[in-house]
Structure 1
Amino acid sequence: MFQHRTSAARPRISGRRRRALLAATAAGCTLVTLAACGAPGSGSGSPGDASPTAVNTAVGDTPATLTLFSSAGLQAYEQDLADAFHAKHPKIKVKLRVEGDNNFNTVLPRLLASGSAPDIVQPYDLPGGVKAGLLTDLDAYDKAYGWASKVPASALAPGRVSNGVIGGGSLYQAGGSAGPLVGVFYNKELAAKVGMTKPPASIGELEAVMAKAKRTGITPIVASNQDGLIGHLYNLLLGNYMGAQALSDLVHHKPGVTLDTPAAVEATEVLHKWIKAGYLASDVNALNQEASYGKFTGGKGLFFFQGSWITQTLDKNFKGKYGVFPMPPTEKGGLYAGMTSNTLAFSIAARSKNKDAAALFLDFLTTPEAAKVAVKNGYAALTSGSDGEAKPSLSGTMTQQIQAGYAAIAADNGFDSWLQNSAPEVNTKLIQQLQLLVSGKVAPAEMVKTLQTTYSKALKGS
């Protein structure tokens, strides 16, 4: 029922359990912290109560021990969160129960249904857990703590479930907002040669920079498509033209949503236009991910559409020679959008005996202390969202650029997911179609129809 939590952000790369994504927050940034109000009532500690109504937020001074079910790959990160929470609330301990990555998926549903269920978990298949009655409806806690006012709606949406569909309805997974930035990495030396002094503010401005690079003899885009990783660029375009919400609705199987729309076709046409213009290397279909890393660090191209996890993988000698900005919106002044996965979102088991204390832990995840832990472990973390933090720039450190891009997307509620996350069959078909698009063997509208047909068949068979 519960899928193994790996990051679909990185096809054919080891999951986020095996390495942190190297992103960080700018120095001095803080989250907006709202004081939790005390609520009357005896609390909701009774095991099996999946929809508590009477909750108690004044539990910080009440001794309790919480169990957090962790995978081995996230143990260090989640232990740091537990330690930071205990430092703020000394009377509440958080103990990790650690399971190997390969067994996590198998053990979790059985554990949640047992009499020794953990208090805090991070399931991937949220609808399955909700349908089985294994997870707690957090609406009462959301209201008591004001999480909806602390965290962007697009960061909370993946934790909402209604009639088996993610994105709306009651909240079953909550916390802060931290994760990777998927954006446009650039070679600083080549950017200077083409006169790029600020991040492009629209797709048109981005195209203008690429056209100038091409005229100068510089390959505009480094990518690999032997493994379909042009998909990062394609997903960014889909998020822009369809809108982040529409793309997320598709990935989360909202009834009636379709990929076969004029907006999706337009996004595909833009990618096709860039291919025909020679903005990608002619051998892109033969390149794998590792080779593309070598090309980018070897100065063979201006832009690299990737996630901030690559900063751990790129040649260390290239450090300081590249930067990143978020994918610009379709029009200047438009909304930013980009894919991410929220590493500060957790659920409370329905059989937890300490729901109120567990909810206090989830509220802690919205604080500056939790953001610092996320940063320490290699993620960008949501900060106060002030205008100054949400303005992408080519100046500052890599850390500051990643944070600025993440904050800009957060400010526009632009977090979405990857199309290939909608179904394994879609992932396989997308790689094939992107390769055909590069080789000129499929037209944009035809590609979109094929992906939609694959999506529809996958949903019918699920």
Structure 2
Amino acid sequence: MLEHPSPAQPGTAVRRVRGSLMAVAATALVALASCGAPGSGAGTPADATPTVVNTAAGDTPATLTLFSAAGLQAYEQGLADAFHAKYPKITVKLRVEADTNFNTVLPRLLASDSPPDIVQPYDLLGGVKDNLLTDLDAYDKAYGWSEKVPASALAPGRVSNGVIGSGPLYQAGGSAGPLTGVFYNRDLAARIGMTAPPSSIGELETLLDKAKNAGITPIVASNQDGLVGHLYNLLLGDYLGAQALSDLVHHKPGATLDSPAAVKATETLRKWVRAGYFDADVNALNQEASYGRFTGGKGLFFFQGSWIVQTLDKNFEGRYGVFPMPPADMGGKYAGMTSNTLAFSIAARSKQKDAAALFLDFLTTPEAAKVAVGNGYAALLSGPAGKPAPSLSANLTDQIQTGYAAIAADNGFDSWLQNSAPAVDTKLTQQLQLLMSGKVEPAAMVKTLQATYADALKSGK
């Protein structure tokens, strides 16, 4: 897979590792909702579908266990401490497992007689299928999570008939994650007269042309490792729409990549290659080298995720910014890849579901947002009406937060196409390298990726 944070942040191109992003500013925008009537049914062990909930669980002493991967320990301990400060009668204790063992150990723990109460399962479908996770719909209704959190941030926590994206809610909380968008060199942007973020792909192409005519490499990218895929996925989100891209990743029946919209996205990338917007050695360039070129002032734009700020040259600090990928057409919707680091599940066998649900509701509060921001995420809860306007004059942290909020306002959070199947991940890197070298046509590339996707679904791989 390309670097992406699900649920932890990425640090390398093709595998998930844990790290920290540069802290980003957040505005706490929602108050805790307290509603519902006390009840006892929700706390029953192995009750995977509670119907009666107690939203006053904070009045009763309790100790919850949160199963944490080591790479997220500091972040999740911060959430636990902030929750205890707000609800002093409830303590959240972390049980920490090495990152390499987390996936293997978690299913066994969930099936045991002493499971953790709160988890972030990698295999949500398996957890639901095996009745290891709690259906959170009753809590959603009681606390109003669907009104507080963008639908596209909750969608990856919904499961229906073995498909993610709709149906009952099994993972919930607030909304926090990285911004995947367009990084830019401030000095080079000023040289070409760029005074505002582009509001459409057409405006972005005008800027690319200006950079090329000024002798500036328009786009820095690495494709030895397939990281042109960041740009490609952003184009897919623009032309397909975030929902259609998410449907593919989540294996929704009938979802297909073989469409005019996907071909248009692929044609756009091919057009940019032919226009000379990339360095000629893009297929030979790796991630680390691309960082060096961008921080060395060798290019205007860099399509990446906000996790990169932790690895960019510190001497480059203050000399670059970021804005969300512009929509395909002016006035269209923003879209971008992210993952929700404030989403958690409750074990079906938990004996303290009401207290655990209160913790999930806490994740929609300003206090939880502050912890997320302190650990390097953009955080959005619910905010004022209207979509925030990205700006070139804001500082980097505000730009990351504003870009994330703009995508959230359009329910534009989606995922990486290569997350749909390992075979698609491998094939996409190959096809992008062929496209960048002029050895495959856009329509043929789309058909190849669709065939790989369909075969992966049939084989279950």
The correspondence for 2:433, drawn from 432, 435, 456, is 435
Partner of 2:454, secondary structure, is helix
1:191-218 deviations in whole A, cap 9, x for unaligned?
A: 0000000000000000000001101111
Aligned amino acid, residue 442 of structure 1: V
Counterpart for residue 154 of structure 2: 156
Matched with 1:331 is 329
Code of the residue aligned with 1:38 in structure 2: it is G
Q: Pick from 300, 307, 319 the counterpart of residue 317 of structure 2.
A: 319
Q: CA deviation at 1:396?
A: 1.5
For residue 294 of structure 2, what is the aligned residue in structure 1?
Answer: 296
2:403 alignment counterpart: 405
Aligned residue identity for 2:111: A
Letter in 2 for 1:159: G
Mapped to 1, the partners of 2:31 and 2:241 lie a distance apart of 29
Listed as ranges, the gaps of 5+ residues in structure 2 are: none
Give, in whole Å, the separation in 2 of the partners of 1:64 and 1:6.
27
Q: Which residue of 2 aligns with 1:51?
A: 49
Instruction: Give the % identical residues.
Output: 78
Q: Which runs of 4+ in 1 moved over 6 A?
A: none
Match of 1:373 in 2: 371
> Residue 235 of structure 2 aligns with which residue?
237
1:265-276 to 2 correspondence within 5 Å? 265-276=263-274
How far did residue 41 of structure 1 move? 2.4
Name the aligned partner's letter for residue 15 of structure 1: R
* Aligned residue pairs, count: 456
Q: Given residue 86 of structure 1, which amino acid in structure 2 is its aligned partner?
A: H
How far, CA to CA, are the matches of 2:178 and 2:36 in structure 1? 34
Contact 1:31 1:366 in 2 (8 A): no
Counterpart residue number, 1:15? 16
- What secondary structure does 1:169 align onto? strand
In structure 2, C-alpha distance between the alignment counterparts of 1:8 and 1:343, rounded to whole Å:
9
Q: Deviations over 1:345-394 (max 9, x none)?
A: 00000000000000000000000000000000010000443357721100
In structure 2, distance between residues paired with 1:87 and 1:379: 21
Aligned partners of 1:23 and 1:180 also within 8 Å:
no
For structure 1, the 5+ residue unaligned runs are none
Superposition CA RMSD, Å: 1.4
Which residue does 1:96 correspond to in 2? 94
Contact 2:13–2:227 (8 Å) recurs in 1: no
- The equivalent position to 1:393 in structure 2, one of 391, 394, 410, is 391
Report the 3-state secondary structure (helix = DSSP H, G, I; strand = E; otherwise coil) of the residue aligned with 2:223.
Answer: coil
Shift of 1:38: 3.2
Match runs of 1:243-258 below 5 Å: 243-258=241-256
Amino acid of the structure 2 residue aligned with 1:435: Q
> Residues 393, 25 of structure 1: CA spacing in aligned structure 2 closer, same or farther, 3 A cutoff?
same
Q: Is the CA contact (8 Å cut-off) linking 2:179 and 2:306 kept in structure 1?
A: yes
1:125: how far off? Answer: 1.3
Q: TM-score of the superposition, structure 1-length normalised?
A: 0.97
Whether the 8 Å contact between 2:233 and 2:416 is mirrored in structure 1 is: yes
Check the 8 A contact 1:329/1:335 in 2, yes or no.
yes
2:27 equivalent to 1:24: no
The 1:340/1:317 distance shift into structure 2, 3 A limit, reads: same
What one-letter code is carried by the residue in structure 1 that aligns with 2:220? V
Q: Kindly state the Cα deviation for residue 105 of structure 1 after the two structures are TM-superposed.
A: 0.9
1:42–1:31 distance in 2 versus 1, CA, 3 Å: same
**Equivalents in 2 of 1:40, 1:363: separation in Å?**
16
Q: Is the 8 A contact 2:323 2:391 kept in 1?
A: yes
Structure 2 length normalisation: TM-score? 0.97
